[in-house]
């Protein structure tokens, strides 16, 4: 299938700003539900306006196109990194190539494309806000010698002007914060200032 056909197949025409915005709007239902469940796991039972803004105050979508590559072994698709988001909602086509790093280990696990499914990644902002209870996932994409690949991540983020740190609900009972308050736009700038380097960005927020 040609890249353009693939995009159309997923409801995203190349000039389809409206479709992308519609996809993002529709995804909000899923995102809110996921965040609600994740907050429950932290004993934060109500997502008030402040928390909603911190958790999902801004969203960004990328349309990633990975052309097939004559020398995949000499090429990096996307280097190892964790996203700076709260959550990333990733739609991938049927080609595959996304790997996640095992928690506390060196194994890389392939994330097989499953028709009709989305991949949900925890990002650094949620690791910081949950005071380390939820861990952002390190991931990378390997180049493919035979097929073009497309992926469409929605990055669910705090707003650039938000100060993020462990949620007050978590540290009010005497839990020791392991991250400081950082301006989210500074955190993102720090991420983009350097190359992809695994999970090193998070050190920027460590106490
Ligand atoms: O293409 C993918 O599967 C993941 C891309 C990615 O990690 C990113 O855009 O941050
Ligand atoms: Fe990523």
Query: Could you give the ipTM of this predicted complex?
Result: 0.99
Instruction: Confirm if 80 and 138 have CB atoms less than 8 A apart.
Output: yes
Domains of the chain (ranges, CATH numbers):
4-205 (2.60.120.330)
Helix (H) or strand (E) holding 4: helix 3-9
What's the pLDDT score for residue 180? Answer: 98
What is the spatial distance between Cα 17 and Cα 63, in angstroms, rounded to a whole number? 11
Residue of 6, 85, 123, 139 to test ligand 1 pocket, by largest number of atoms within 8 Å of CB: 139
List ligand 1's pocket residues with C-beta within 6 A: 62, 64, 78, 83, 90, 92, 98, 139, 141, 151, 153
Please name the residue whose Cα sits nearest to atom 8 of ligand 1. 153
The structure tokens listed for 73 are: 């072994």
pLDDT by position in tens, the chain (length 207): 666 666 555 555 555 778 888 999 999 999 999 999 999 999 999 889 999 999 999 999 998 999 999 888 888 889 999 999 999 999 999 999 999 999 888 899 999 999 999 999 999 999 999 999 999 999 999 999 999 999 999 999 999 999 999 999 999 889 999 999 999 999 999 999 988 899 999 999 999
Give 100 Cα–ligand 2 centroid separation in angstroms: 10
What's the pLDDT score for residue 173? Answer: 84
Task: Name residues with Cβ closer than 5 Å to ligand 2, which is an ion.
Answer: 83
Instruction: Confirm if 137 and 126 have CB atoms less than 8 A apart.
Output: no
Q: Which ligand 1 atom lies nearest to the CA of residue 153?
A: 9
What is the spatial distance between Cα 61 and Cα 151, in angstroms, rounded to a whole number? 10
Instruction: Confirm if 135 and 38 have CB atoms less than 8 A apart.
Output: no
What's the pLDDT score for residue 140? Answer: 96
What's the pLDDT score for residue 114? Answer: 97
Q: What is the largest CA-CA distance in the chain?
A: 56
Instruction: Confirm if 39 and 122 have CB atoms less than 8 A apart.
Output: no
What is the spatial distance between Cα 50 and Cα 43, in angstroms, rounded to a whole number? 16
Instruction: Confirm if 204 and 128 have CB atoms less than 8 A apart.
Output: no
Q: How far is CA 33 from CA 27, 56, 90, 110, 195, in A?
A: 10, 12, 16, 26, 33
């Amino acid at each position: 299938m040609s890249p353009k056909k693939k995009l159309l197949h997923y409801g995203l025409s190349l000039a389809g700003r409206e479709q992308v915005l519609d996809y993002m709007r529709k995804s909000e239902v899923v995102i809110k539900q996921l965040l609600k469940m994740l907050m429950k796991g932290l004993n934060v039972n109500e997502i008030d306006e402040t928390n909603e803004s911190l958790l999902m105050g801004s969203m960004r979508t990328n349309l990633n196109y990975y052309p097939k590559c004559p020398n995949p072994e000499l090429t990096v698709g996307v280097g190892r990194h964790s996203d700076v988001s709260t959550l990333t909602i990733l739609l991938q086509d049927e080609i595959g190539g996304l790997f996640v790093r095992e928690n506390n280990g060196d194994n890389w696990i392939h994330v097989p494309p499953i028709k009709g499914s989305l991949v949900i990644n925890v990002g650094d902002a949620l690791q910081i806000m949950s005071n380390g209870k939820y861990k952002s996932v390190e991931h990378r994409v390997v180049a493919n010698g035979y097929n073009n690949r497309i992926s469409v991540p929605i990055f669910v983020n705090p707003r650039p002007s938000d100060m993020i740190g462990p949620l007050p609900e978590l540290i009010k009972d005497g839990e020791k914060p392991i991250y400081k308050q950082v301006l989210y736009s500074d955190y993102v700038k720090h991420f983009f200032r350097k190359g992809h380097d695994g999970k090193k960005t998070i050190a920027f927020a460590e106490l």
